[in-house]
Amino acid sequence: MKIALLFGANSFEHEISIVSAIALKKVLKEELIYIFCDYNRDFYLIPTEKITSKRFSSGEYKKDKKLDIKNGGFFHKTLMGEKKLNFDIMLNVIHGSDGEDGKIASLLEFFNIPFIGPRGEASVISYNKLFTKMYAEEFGVATLEYEILQKDSKKQTNLNYPVIVKPLRLGSSIGISIVQDKSELDYALDVAYEYDNQVLIEPFIEGIKEYNLAGCKTHEYNFSIIEEPKKEEFLDFDKKYLDFSRTKRVNEAEISEELDKKIREAFIKLYEPLFCGALIRCDFFVVDNEIYINEINPVPGSLANYLFDDFNSLINKLALSLPKNIEIPKTYKYIHKIQSAKGK
């Protein structure tokens, strides 16, 4: 199987996407093709054997073949016209805006390019932390209490301190602050508003248990191990940046069978049918043995390969289990009826 990795794009998480894409070269055994989307949303074919982070930071990638996207795939110019880039499946490895907010999903669906990743609806819901909470609550998965503030609203909260302040539409812990008391709130909001005009505020619970579970559905559910992240108060951007380059399998959390079952049940409630065709990671909180969803990662760092025993086989299975589009008949029967009624 020939796999194309799509990464980069116009996002605050642009660099993290590059790190993820490079990391996957170590774990995927199939033939890989790298398609880079730069900040200008231009596409480039990056030589697989030459891919390094410096190639992008230096702008050297602009010497590579430029690609055009159109119905059926990506194309590059030749002396005789153009040539279609040959691959079997595309992996969406774009983190943040463009890759997780629905733009890329819609583009790939529109041009009939088969891909592994969240579809449009799933992207929109999981990218917005408010929509994620509403979606989870609708399907019976609990969330922590929260407030939403607008950039032009009063800088105050009705929640008890300490609280955590997050941009509403952003990942990788960018713009997130822990606020211990009222005197720290203004600054935390100013930081978050640099990235979004809406923020989400939640209670910050010291020592809260957190567990991560990744997976997807083929003919059955394929779960990763459940990981308990080893961290301080929370993973800041720098720690997560390094975290996204992980390729070695991590250790499994030591939890009871009952808790393991509850986490998997919550994952299933969130996954189907919206996230079919994607490999996602759900991050859960556990308080007094109750499960709360923290966030749904529709394009997790390095696609959470480090949580699986055989990530390569899983990608191959998922590539054969993508959701099918409903075929729309091309009949023009209603126009024909109108024309017949008018005698034309």
Residues 104 and 213 in one domain: no
Angle at 293 between CA 289 and CA 294, to 5 degrees: 115
* Tokens encoding 268: 């299933």
User: 13: domain CATH number?
Assistant: 3.40.50.20
- Cα–Cα distance between 127 and 105 in angstroms, integer? 13
- Cα–Cα distance between 313 and 283 in angstroms, integer? 23
The amino acid sitting at 216 is: C
Q: Give me the percent of the chain exceeding a pLDDT of 90.
A: 80
CB 20 within 8 A of CB 307: no
Q: Tell me what pLDDT residue 270 has.
A: 97
- Check residues 21 and 239 and name the one with the higher pLDDT: 21
> 326 lies in a domain?
no
- Check residues 152 and 83 and name the one with the higher pLDDT: 83
Q: Give me the percent of the chain exceeding a pLDDT of 70.
A: 93
If you write DSSP's letter for every residue of 47-104 in order, what string do you get?
A: -GGG--HHHHHTTGGGGSEEEEEETTEEEEEETTEEEEPP-SEEEE---STTTTSSHH
Each residue of 115-141: pLDDT tens digit? 999 999 999 999 999 999 999 999 999
Q: What residues pair up with 31 in beta bridges, in sequence order?
A: 2
- Confidence category of residue 170, pLDDT binned at 50, 70, 90: confident
Mean pLDDT of 37-48: 97
Residues 191 and 309 in one domain: no
Residues 313 and 240 in one domain: yes
Each residue of 272-296: pLDDT tens digit? 989 999 999 999 999 988 999 999 9
Mean pLDDT of 181-188: 94
Residue 264: which H helix or E strand, with range?
helix 257-271
> 340 lies in a domain?
no
The tally of domains found in the chain comes to: 3
Residues 225 and 130 in one domain: yes
| Neighbouring residues of 252: CB distance < 8 A, sequence distance ≥ 6 | 225, 226, 227
What separation in angstroms does the CA of 47 have from each of 14, 34, 38, 86, 283? 19, 7, 15, 14, 34
Q: Tell me what pLDDT residue 278 has.
A: 97
pTM of the model: 0.89
Residues 229 and 177 in one domain: no
CB 99 within 8 A of CB 21: no
Q: Tell me what pLDDT residue 142 has.
A: 97
Exposed/middle/buried for residue 145 (C-beta within 10 Å: 0-12, 13-18, 19+):
exposed
Q: Tell me what pLDDT residue 222 has.
A: 97
Residues 87 and 227 in one domain: no
Residues in the chain: 344
Q: Which of 161, 182, 203 is the last residue of a domain?
A: 203
Each residue of 191-237: pLDDT tens digit? 999 999 999 999 999 889 999 999 999 999 999 999 998 765 454 54
- Cα–Cα distance between 290 and 259 in angstroms, integer? 9
Residues 152 and 166 in one domain: yes
* Nearest residue to 240 (alpha-carbon basis) of 37, 7, 17, 5: 17
Q: Tell me what pLDDT residue 36 has.
A: 98
Instruction: Kindly report the number of other CB atoms within 10 A of residue 220's CB atom.
Output: 8
* Tokens encoding 269: 């409630």
Instruction: Kindly report the number of other CB atoms within 10 A of residue 135's CB atom.
Output: 20
User: 295: domain CATH number?
Assistant: 3.30.470.20
Q: Tell me what pLDDT residue 209 has.
A: 93
> 325 lies in a domain?
no
Q: Tell me what pLDDT residue 246 has.
A: 64
- Confidence category of residue 334, pLDDT binned at 50, 70, 90: confident
> 267 lies in a domain?
yes
Q: Tell me what pLDDT residue 328 has.
A: 85
CB 63 within 8 A of CB 54: no
Q: Which domain holds residue 212?
A: 125-142+207-319
Assess whether pLDDT exceeds 60 at residue 56. yes
Q: Which of 100, 117, 134 is the last residue of a domain?
A: 117
> 45 lies in a domain?
yes
